[in-house]
Structure 1
Amino acid sequence: MTKQAFRELLEKGLFILDGATGIELQKQGMPLGVCPEQWVLENPDVIKNLQKRYIEAGSHGVYACTFGCNAIKLAEFGLEDQIESMNKALVQLSKEAVGDNGWVIGDLSPTGAQMFPLGLRHFEDIVIAYKKQVKALVEAGVDLFVIETMMDINEARAALIAVKETCDLPVMVSMTYEKNGYTLNGTDPKTAVITLQNLGADAVGCNCSTGPDDMIAIVKAMKPYAKVPLLVKPNAGLPRYENGKTTFDMDAETFAKYVLELVEAGANIIGGCCGSTPDFIKKISDKVKACKPLPWQTKQGSRITSERMMVTIGQDEPTIIVGERINPTGKKRLQEALRDKNMDYVVTLAKEQLEKGAAILDVNVGTSGIDEVEVMKLAVEQLSTFVKVPLCIDSSNIDAIEVALRIYPGRALVNSISLEKHKIERLLPIAKKYGAMFILLPLSDKGLPKSIEEKHHIIEAVYNHAKSLGYEKEDIIVDGLVTTVASNYNAAVETLETIEWCTREFGAGTIMGLSNISFGLPKRQLVNTAFLAMAIAKGLTMAIANPSDELLMHLKLACDVLATRDKDSLHYIQSFNEGKKKDHAPEAIKAEQELHTEKERLDTIRQMVVQGEKDSILDNVKKAVKENHLPKTIIEGYLIPAITRVGELFEDKTYFLPQLIMSAEAMKIAMDYLDPLLEDGKGHQQGEKKKVVIATVKGDIHDIGKNLVSLMLKNYGFDIYDLGKDVSREVIVAKAKEVDADIIALSALMTTTMLEMEHVIRLVKEEGLRAKIMIGGAVITNDYALEIGADGYSEDANTAVKLAYELTR
């Protein structure tokens, strides 16, 4: 199927997908703990009969049973050398099942690995793993692809890049959102759809985790920004435990009624996930026969994203300040940090700018004595993890820009592309490949334009090149090309003329490097501030500036009010409301305003935990000990309050999984050093620690959440026995008995493995262990915990700590 054929197919009406596979296979005898793909190949009639039933029920296409058939997951079962043969055989089974009556969709799922800097796998490792699977699926003859159940937007990007670099088949991408409307890593639906559709996804949507009722809000959030069809594949409500089996609380008729609301909200592609059977698909098919889905958008507006937020650029939006301080020109300390690959200082500069009101950060690492490509990659990896706002990738080195765009977990802004041959021929296609917006710099190989007419000609010429690649004017920000007024009397007037022309005639957003105008003049702040006011009056949408300039930032706020860019003066009022100052620092960087004594060693250590500075904390802890600060004081007075604050930020949804992991790891580094130094009567004693045996249950190879719970509990003084993933009930109970555990903590990510928790609980009771049992995982609920006899349920690592304290009081 071609991409065009896919769009034409969806323009005709709804595309109906299949329902659950894993749970249906278990009903047919697939045991826990096996590789599902291998079991299917050993029992081919099971999958063929199931997929035939889906087609008969009304599915237009089925997912080939290749969900976990990537190299990283297969390695868990020692099958990574069979990736090609297994994928091809599984596709063949689906082809035999559907015949000419439906499409066979190659299914890619999460690898279960964490990417650097949170894990050991680098972005390119993940791309390579997916490419091996994609190549086999293409050779097997799949009609299109789906990338599903993704919790990490950058892993979804890696899979999408793998498909794009291997073939031209259509590809759908489906994220998994929690009940709070965010993925585990903190991506919201509108941010995801902007990021993925610009990277080349042919459809974007959501699946698993929630029922159809909770997905209505997700579809409504995506719809205003979606230039591609929207996909939904909900669970059959919430899981529950009945008569020794996992069931779901929604029947097919109720499910189908909600599907009608999903179509009304904007869904174009409909199916079912966990708990949905062929009966569900039949009900859906019958219900939607007369439905005409809403068309998707043709415009999305000027929007860039990070992993965790979207920024809109436009005449009706507040003027965007792009923080300029991550640029080593004239900054010796930053130059030294870049040469030493000290990203902690780069992150510190970023956070300081966020606190002052920067909405985007310009990132330029070009300085002598470094490998700019390598350092740019490090900077983007760290900033993407620690900083919420989007990045503007700024370099004259095209290779450095390319590596940044490839790994960046959002839609970046490129600074900049001109009519110069190497930029228009090489950099422009790179920017388009990765879905980036770009700053159009009106320069050519002849140099600076000699007249306003030549400048306009260059702008239009670059746009025409970009348009041929699929860009729209909304994807471009024109640089006003500011020169210094000290050497060019007309510099300000020429820039203002360009801004006004772009606003009123050309129809694109504008930006300028503000401080260029005042170079060589005294009292530069006055010139810069006056120039910004004049430019905003002409329609300027963005300015690259120093957000630490208080006069400039205050004037910007006032201009937005006067230019009707700040509805009801909300931003202006909020910015001068001391009680809401943290709104200028969305990650609550230094929202812990009590850290007013940062020069003191212990305050610095506390701050490092809150900000997740794991590379620097050990040196500071060692110095604190040498300065005669007691280990007990450091732990109880600073480390514990710091990680508690991190937990509060996590509960407030100011922090998400990446920030929680980095802070917990910083805490662990400090604790690992201090714990052996504790003396009698001065700290936690080993014998006093409560013992926790923790594991991901048999059949489940996912351990990100379990690892974080383990790390957090250790940081709070619990004695942890981490048994890993895919652990049998016998091993769990034997370890708990051996150490006389106070708590057994169980994790399961999938509905197909959650039932194993009940078997563990039953064995614990049979053996008469005193241990309390707490459970958690993406598919687990408090009701489920009560039904299977667990002593408690926690939805995340922070609440797991609180629960552990309650269970051991």
Structure 2
Amino acid sequence: MRMDRGLFCENTSRKVFLLDGATGTELQKRGMPAGVCPELWAIENPKALMGIQEAYAGAGSDIIYTCTFGANRIKLDEFGLGDRTVEMNKRLAQISRQAAGGKCLVAGDLASTGRFLRPLGDMAFEECVNVYKEQVKGLLEGGVDMFVIETMLDIQEARAALIAVKESCELPVCVSMSFDESKRTLTGTDPVTALITLQSLGADAVGCNCSTGPRLMLEIISMMKPYARIPLMAKPNAGLPRLVDGSTVFDMGAEEFGTYAEDFIKAGVSLLGGCCGTSPEYIKELHHKCSGLKPMPVDCKPYSALTSSSKTAFLGAGLPVAVVGERINPTGKKKLKEELRQGLTGEVRRLAAEQIENGAHVLDVNVGMPGIDEKETMVKLIELLTGMAGLPLCLDSSSPEVLEAALRVYPGRALVNSISLEKVKLERLLPVAAKYGAMFILLPLSDDGVPECSEERCGIVEEVFREAVRYGYRKEDIVVDGLVMTVSSNQQAAMETLKVIEWCSRDFGCATIVGLSNVSFGLPERGWVNTAFLAMAIDRGLTMTIANPSSEVLMSIKMACDVLTMRDANSMGYISHFTSRTGEAVPLKTEKDDRTLERKIYDSVLKGNKEEAVELVNTAIRQNMPASGIVNDCLIPAINEVGVLFEQKKYFLPQLIQSAEAMKAGFDCVEPLLIQGGEGETAGGTAIVLATVKGDIHDIGKNIVGLMLKNYGFKIYDMGKDVSAQRIISEAKRTGAKIIGLSALMTTTMVEMREVIRLAKEERLDCRFMIGGAVVDEDYAREIGADGYSKDAYDAVKLAKRLAQR
């Protein structure tokens, strides 16, 4: 029985749906050896898989997952099975359906490909969507009732999988992210941002699984609940893993695990199961504890929100006026135009950084100009800005094709500028904006032009909104532009716009926005008119403004208005804007750049600007700056500061990687001079062998560690994944490595780390060992005789430096 979305929503509102528990460890209990393809082994041993899934159904699971966690083409290619993707997914779905026997639903299971999408990695977004579509095809042919996308570490990859399902069928689809102890995913997405992004894109349930035990996962669910318009799901681990007699065990038994069931339901979970370390016994405990309990209603207060991959910007009544930075627009900007034609991004980076520093909440991106491919350029800038800026984007184009391409790759919930009553936009753009879950600016004009009076504009607002409702839009999902016309040609223009803003805010009940520059066109000293109009609009209830945040007068008045209209709680925003730690006034930065060349190189790495880093380092070389000085006084201090910001959770993985690449680009320019001068490499070129241990095919974290270590001058020999102890030791002997770095992401393979260290000691290999991965910690490192544990890439650099000096 395939469940449609309406029935799924109705059922999950009436009862708590129990999911299944772990599959991989249960397969191992039934004889699956380490290092094999789990999906192929399950197909060749169907009775083992059926026994596990029948046990979960018997324990009370309402939904069991197909054994297809790693059955996408990219993962299967590692076993030479990529061409069998559809066939294998179909067969595994059929086995699960047979095991379910009509007693429970079967969810087609999709998980990570193990590769990063651009700009973090080399995989194009559309390639990723197609990889998942192939897997979805097989699962549909096998007869799944619904889909679940689980253990996702990157919001962009989760989006790709969700789009693949939604473009393939109408079945319900749930998305489950994995968060670490900082309550962020590997790529820096927090729970609320993930929820808003995914539910806007059309997920039928959102939640989290793996990485943590019940206690921390309860906190994550509690963060999501106030903003959830859909059911929430949770699959925690059975506590924390530890090694006992050479085997991985978890520290939480089934009975203790079951005691959290009621807490999860009270926190808002409608779908509950278990992840690593759980078994049918754990699900049986959940079933017992959930008996008679009803899920909390899906009922959140209305809110308006935009998201990037790492941040949410809330908008609306009672909140400070949000500033949409207008500067990334080639109109009137000669340098920006020239760089866009050449495919360069330095000026875009500068404008983005300047606007962020001066208080922008959202960045408007417009690349409409002759002489470029607008669609290609827009997509390129989205990849750039989502990696460096962290702010949500307003996507601004008159072309429906450009906006659709932009929305497809944007890793969050964007704001579309704009949709009006014009036929082409209403018919072509509104469905696209709805498909990707975007908010949109509603422009009150039609094919007949801009109405002069506020009443006609308000009528258009109502007409467009009625059409938007057909696509699932609520009033909190739109932002009405009051349409500012110039007062120099029509003295009534400003007042008519203010009437629209007041009507939207007080009567209709939606957010509003204005662009300020048009009101003063043709007048001298335009800044004063713009700023006065902004203050008047804020008094009428304005939500957002498109403006230049570098305007000191405008931003100061905005801050003051936020205080006077009670939008700035305790005047904290105002105080922060106008005072430094010493309490003295701090003016906004001027255009003058009096930084030294050394500081500019430092800043280029800090901001992850590879183009600028290369240009500045080459300038320094031409000016005869010592090569060692460039490295030791500019590049290394900058990447060290990036590491500190990463540890403080002010930077996340995208910024870390961009800065690392900028440093590498700068270092590549100066390295020949270092070698020529006999200065060698930083870190003495210490050789490190890196490998993901035997049986484990996860290497994202290990690859990031390798990149960071290279940028600090270590000589890296990356052996890849699923590497045996004997091969690792042989490579260490061949290369003369002083350090061996081992990675494992699975509780079932972490024991292989001990085997590598044992073999090294047996063969009297003189080297140090460092380990890392989601399932290991410092205690485990000591237990197996490793010399240290690193929790992330920057921590690995610090550890490697210490070990290299021993």
How big is the shift at 1:682? 6.1
Tell me by how many angstroms 1:151 deviates. 0.6
- 2:199 aligned with 1:197, yes or no? yes
Deviates more, 1:168-177 or 1:1-10: 1-10
The residue number in structure 1 matching 2:712 is 716
Q: Which residue does the alignment assign to 1:783?
A: 779
1:447-466 matches, within 5 Å, as 447-466=449-468
Residue aligning to 1:695: 691
1:596–1:502: structure 2 CA closer, same or farther, 3 Å change rule?
A: closer
User: Quick one: which amino acid aligns to residue 424 of structure 2?
Assistant: H
Alignment match, 2:20 = 18
Match of 2:761 in 1: 765
Q: Which digits, 9 at most, give the CA deviation of each residue in 1:100-155, with x for residues without a partner? A: 11111100000111111221111001001001111111121100000000010010
Q: Give 1:196-345 correspondences, 5 Å limit.
A: 196-297=198-299, 299-345=301-347
Could you tell me how far apart the structure 1 residues matched to 2:518 and 2:582 are? 33
* 1:706 counterpart = 2:708: no
- Alignment length, in residue pairs? 801
Deviation at 1:504, TM superposition (A): 1.1
Could you tell which deviates more after superposition, 173-182 or 610-619?
A: 610-619
Greater CA deviation, 535-544 or 5-14? 5-14
Mapped to 2, the partners of 1:423 and 1:517 lie a distance apart of 25
Aligned mates of 1:347, 1:752 — CA distance in 2: 44
- CA-to-partner distance for each residue in 1:240-259, whole Å, 9 max, x for gaps? 11100011111111111122
Say whether 1:738 aligns with 2:731: no
Residues 716 and 801 in structure 1, CA contact (< 8 A), matched pair in contact too? yes
Which of 82, 90, 108 aligns to 2:92? It is 90
Q: Distance in 1 between matches of 2:663 and 2:29?
A: 44
Give the match for residue 471 of structure 2: 469
Work out the CA distance in 1 between the residues paired with 2:457 and 2:548.
Answer: 27
CA contact (8 A) 1:513 1:543 kept: yes
Deviations 1:682-722 (A, max 9, x none): 63459943221111112222222112211222222222222
Distance 1:686 1:434 in 2: 46
Query: Is 1:607 equivalent to 2:603 in the alignment?
Result: yes
Equivalent in the alignment of 1:803: 799
For residue 597 of structure 1, report the CA deviation from its aligned partner: 6.7
2:515 — aligned with what? Answer: 513
Larger deviation: 705-714 or 652-661?
A: 705-714
- Structure 2 residue corresponding to 1:143, chosen from 125, 142, 145: 145
Alpha-carbon distance change, 596 to 425 in structure 1, aligned in 2, over 3 angstroms: closer
- Cα distance in 1 for residues equivalent to 2:398 and 2:681: 56
Q: Tell me which moved more, 193-202 or 779-788.
A: 779-788
Q: Residues 514 and 281 from structure 1, CA distance in 2 versus in 1: closer, same or farther, beyond 3 angstroms?
A: same
Superposed displacement of residue 91, structure 1: 0.7
Aligned AA (2:81): L
Please say which of residues 22-31 and 680-689 is displaced more in the overlay.
680-689
Residue of structure 2 equivalent to 1:572: 574
Give per-residue Cα distances to partners, 1:385-442, cap 9 Å, x unaligned. 1111100011101111111100000000001100000111110000000000000000
Matches within 5 A, 1:496-535: 496-535=498-537
Write the distance in 2 (CA, Å) between the matches of 1:574 and 1:417: 36
Change (3 A) 1:89 1:680: same
Q: C-alpha separation between the residues in 2 aligned to 1:339 and 1:299?
A: 46
CA distance in 1, matches of 2:207, 2:481: 34
1:299 Cα deviation after fit: 4.8
Distance 1:398 1:93, change over 3 A: same
Aligned to 1:348: 350
2:664 to 656, 665, 668: 668
Distance 1:384 1:110 in 2: 21
Contact map agreement 1:574 1:580 (CA 8 A) in 2: no
Q: Kindly provide the amino acid, as one letter, of the partner of residue 266 in structure 2.
A: E
Deviations 1:638-693 (A, max 9, x none): 11001001001100111111111111112122223322321587634599432211
**Equivalent residues in 2 for 1:576-591 (5 A)?**
576-579=578-581
Contact 1:224-1:300 at 8 Å conserved across structures: no
CA distance in 1, matches of 2:778, 2:360: 41
Q: Partner of 1:511: helix, strand, or coil? A: strand
- The one-letter code of the counterpart of 2:316 is G
Counterpart secondary structure, 2:338 = helix
The match for 2:750 is 754
How many Å separate the matches in 2 of 1:34 and 1:579? 59
Kindly indicate whether the alpha-carbon contact (under 8 Å) linking 1:632 and 1:682 is maintained by their aligned counterparts in 2.
no
1:436 to 409, 433, 438: 438
CA deviation profile, 1:471-496 (whole Å, cap 9, x unmatched): 01000110010011111111110111
SS in 1 for 2:610: coil
Q: CA deviation at 1:298?
A: 5.4
Q: Is the 8 A contact 2:16 2:270 kept in 1?
A: yes
Q: Percent identity?
A: 57
| Structure 2: distance between partners of 1:342 and 1:385 | 16
Q: Which stretch of structure 1 is more off in the superposition, 789-798 or 445-454?
A: 445-454
Distance in 1, matches of 2:351 and 2:429, equals: 28
What RMSD over aligned residues (CA atoms) do the two structures have, in Å?
Answer: 1.9
Task: Tell me if the contact between 2:683 and 2:713 (Cα under 8 Å) persists in the aligned partners.
Answer: no
Q: Residues 157-179 of structure 1, C-alpha deviation per residue, up to 9 Å, x if partnerless?
A: 00000000000000000000001
**Aligned AA for 1:404?**
A
Counterpart Cα distance in 2 of 1:375 and 1:210: 40
Q: Given that residues 696 and 744 in structure 2 are in contact (C-alpha distance below 8 angstroms), is that contact kept between their aligned partners in structure 1?
A: yes
Q: For residues 29-56 of structure 1, what are the alpha-carbon distances to aligned partners after superposition, in whole Å with 9 as ceiling and x for unaligned?
A: 2222221111111111111101111111
**How many angstroms does 1:61 deviate by?**
1.2
Q: Shift of residue 805 of structure 1?
A: 1.9
The change in CA–CA distance for 1:669 and 1:580 in structure 2 (over 3 A counts) is farther
**SS of equivalent to 2:61:** coil
Is contact 1:241-1:788 (8 Å) kept?
no
User: What is the one-letter code of the residue matched to 1:312?
Assistant: F
Given that 2:320 and 2:567 are in contact with CA atoms closer than 8 Å, whether structure 1 keeps it comes out as yes
* Cα distance in structure 2, aligned partners of 1:300 and 1:410: 19
2:126 is the alignment partner of 1:130: no
1:642 is the counterpart of 2:638: yes
Question: Which whole-Å CA distance do the structure 2 matches of 1:647 and 1:516 have between them?
Answer: 44
Structure 2: distance between partners of 1:413 and 1:62? 37
Q: Distance in 2 between matches of 1:259 and 1:760?
A: 40
Structure 1 unaligned spans of 5+: none
CA contact (8 A) 1:236 1:249 kept: yes
User: Is contact 1:87-1:137 (8 Å) kept?
Assistant: yes
Give, in whole Å, the separation in 1 of the partners of 2:257 and 2:579.
46
Partner of 1:112: 114
User: Which residue of structure 2 aligns with residue 404 of structure 1?
Assistant: 406
Alignment check: 8 A CA contact 1:631 1:683 kept: no
Distance 1:596 1:248 in 2: 59
C-alpha separation in 2, matches of 1:333 and 1:169: 49
Structure 2 Cα separation of the partners of residues 65 and 399 of structure 1:
38
Q: 1:149 aligns to what SS in structure 2?
A: strand
Cα shift at 1:346: 1.1
Q: Determine the C-alpha separation between the residues in 2 that align with 1:623 and 1:564.
A: 51
Matched AA of 2:296 = L
Q: Distance in 1 between matches of 2:576 and 2:722?
A: 50
User: Would the aligned equivalents of 1:14 and 1:293 in 2 still touch at CA under 8 Å?
Assistant: yes
Q: Which amino acid aligns with 1:391?
A: L
Report the alpha carbon displacement of residue 545 of structure 1 after superposing the two structures with TM.
Answer: 0.4
Alpha-carbon distance in structure 2 between the residues aligned to 1:504 and 1:761? 69
- Structure 2 Cα separation of the partners of residues 181 and 111 of structure 1: 22
SS across alignment from 1:770: coil
Give me the whole-angstrom Cα distance separating, in 1, the residues matched to 2:155 and 2:394: 19
Residues 547 and 10 (structure 1), Cα distance of their counterparts in 2 relative to 1, 3 Å cut:
same
